[in-house]
Amino acid sequence: MIFVTIGTQAPFDRFIKMVDEIAANLNEEVIAQTFKSQYKAKKIKTVDFLAPDEFNKLFKEARMIVAHAGMGTIISAMQHQKPIIIFPRIAALGEHRNEHQMATAKKMKELGYVHVAFNEKELKDLLLSDNINCLHKLSDSASPTLINSLSDYINQIN
């Protein structure tokens, strides 16, 4: 199952429509949290809003996450070691208040942390690809290197 989320701040109809159209070529269930979307999906299952426990359940069950470029979703995918494709909202199209999602997407792509699509063709290519994997993993705890560095620093100032 592929889980699609756009966050809960504003609809993202352009993105949901793209995913819905691409889903015709997928042999897999696609469930999308669409938050106040005006677009009526034909191929994917949509849910307007999910309570946190329902959201987390779908997130954990999903084979892949497809989302707006929200840092909360990106971090969750890396913590759960889920492949994620992000598609940034564009403020110039009225999808957000500024271009921070575009900046996030560009930086995440530069770092090689997530799969990024900036247009419909890239989104389709990624969704239809057989080798989408988790590019970067985050732990729930700090690395031993960071802990040792902090311990050394504390010991030096004491």
The pLDDT of residue 153 = 86
pTM of the model: 0.86
The pLDDT of residue 62 = 97
| Structural contact between residues 125 and 23, judged by C-beta atoms closer than 8 angstroms | no
Measured CA to CA, the distance from residue 31 to residue 51 in angstroms comes to 15
- The domain that holds 58 is classified in CATH as 3.40.50.2000
- State the total domains in the chain: 1
Q: In which domain, by residue range, is 41 found?
A: 2-157
The pLDDT of residue 108 = 96
pLDDT along the chain (158 residues), means of 10: 91 94 95 92 93 93 96 93 95 80 95 97 95 88 82 86
